[in-house]
Amino acid sequence: MASSSQRVVVYIDGFNLYYGLKSKGWKRYYWLDLDAFATQLLQTGYSLAIVHYFTAKVVGDAYDPAKPIRQGAYLDALTTLPNVRIHYGYFLPKQQRCHSCGTAAMTYEEKMTDVNIAVKLIEDAHDDAFDTAILISGDGDLAGPVWKIQERFPRKRMVVAFPPNRVSMRLREVASAYFTIGRMPFRDSQMPEQIALADGRLIVRPIRWR
């Protein structure tokens, strides 16, 4: 497809990927080594430069108060991967009222992830950080920056890799190429059950992710 000098940067929409896996019932693949996973997506002759992972720290609730603990273990595990950089958005508290009974409940809305991805994509294109970018997301709001990069930098390829059950027609229309990620890259890119951190702590894959 291209010469051996092709540099690839991978951009991962963390929650889009998570909900794609969740929709398939693939909890056992949540403990994902993003470096190995991104490498699985490359064709022969391409080299992985870096992986950018975009997420936000979740908030526990009455139904699942341990969510932040599981996510925290995963984020700590990712810090041991030298080719992975984590970029954080945030969750905005939002009161939601039931239309039928009038009861109010606090919910949280994720903010900044799509903006952070768009900014990083355009920044890296301008800085010539990649020849090919692989965007792992099914968020159609990202079609704008994908289209703009290809307009301004026509030699750069923008490939969209859709998580399971996450497809955007808008992204399909503007991407240089696109595909849906199958089971194998997830299955073959799991981190060890236990990981030692630099500070001596030992983290373990959450039981619910086995």
Planar angle of CA 28, 184, 202, nearest 5 degrees: 40
Q: State residue 2's pLDDT score.
A: 43
- Compute the distance between CA of residue 175 and CA of residue 160 in angstroms, rounded to an integer: 6
Predicted TM-score of the model (pTM): 0.91
pLDDT in tens, 111-121: 789 999 999 99
Kind of pairing between the strands at 6-13 and 157-162: unpaired
Our CA dihedral for 20, 23, 25, 31, rounded to 10 degrees, sits at: 30
Domains of the chain in sequence order? 6-209 (3.40.50.1010)
Question: Is the pLDDT score of 8 beyond 80?
Answer: yes
Mean pLDDT value across residues 181-194: 98
What is residue 43's DSSP assignment?
A: P
pLDDT in tens, 11-44: 999 999 999 999 999 999 999 999 999 999 999 8
Residue 3 pLDDT > 90? no
Residue 1 confidence class, pLDDT cut points 50, 70, 90:
very low
What pLDDT does 94 receive?
63
pLDDT in tens, 73-111: 999 999 999 999 999 998 777 666 666 776 655 566 787
The mean per-residue pLDDT over the stretch 64-70 comes to: 94
Q: Considering only CA atoms, which of 162, 210, 163, 200 is closest in space to residue 31?
A: 210
- Average the pLDDT over 6-12 and give the result: 97
| Look-up of token digits 């992710």 | 209
Is 80 exceeded by the pLDDT of residue 184? yes
Q: Each residue of 122-162: pLDDT tens digit?
A: 999 999 999 999 999 999 999 999 999 999 999 999 999 99
